[in-house]
Amino acid sequence: DRPNIHFMVSELLYSVKSMQDLDRVLKFSADTPPPKFMVFANKRKETERLTKHAWSQLPPELHHKIVWFHSGMSGEQKASCMEELRKGEIWGIFCTDAAGMVSHSH
């Protein structure tokens, strides 16, 4: 019942730690933004590590377009982040399952 949500499964071609598959799938570029995305991770630190890796692929002025999202953030921060994602103000988030717990009434 969510036609705007698409799941993507891609075979890993490289070591998980290399993050080359992440780069291959999301194709980070200053010239062409990736499609809106939510990448789920199991731990808060992992969301931050993935976000910092994405930032390393972009010029500093675009770092704000990709953020982490986890339970260490306030409810207000999480609601704001989801609203920015919905509006297209940010390109994507690296998140824990906390992203699924944000009320859609905000």
pLDDT in tens, 25-66: 898 888 898 889 999 999 999 999 999 999 999 999 999 999
Strand partners, 94: 39, 68
> At the top level of CATH, which class does the domain 16-101 belong to?
alpha beta
Comparing 105 with 86, the larger pLDDT belongs to 86
Q: pTM for the complete prediction? A: 0.83
**Residue 79 near residue 106, CB atoms below 8 Å:** yes
**Residue 74 near residue 82, CB atoms below 8 Å:** no
Separation CA 91–CA 83 (nearest Å): 12
Distances (CA, A) of 64 to 1, 57, 88: 30, 13, 12
Distances (CA, A) of 40 to 47, 51, 80: 8, 11, 18
Separation CA 45–CA 31 (nearest Å): 28
Separation CA 22–CA 58 (nearest Å): 14
Comparing 16 with 76, the larger pLDDT belongs to 76
Distance from CA of residue 70 to its chain's centroid? 11
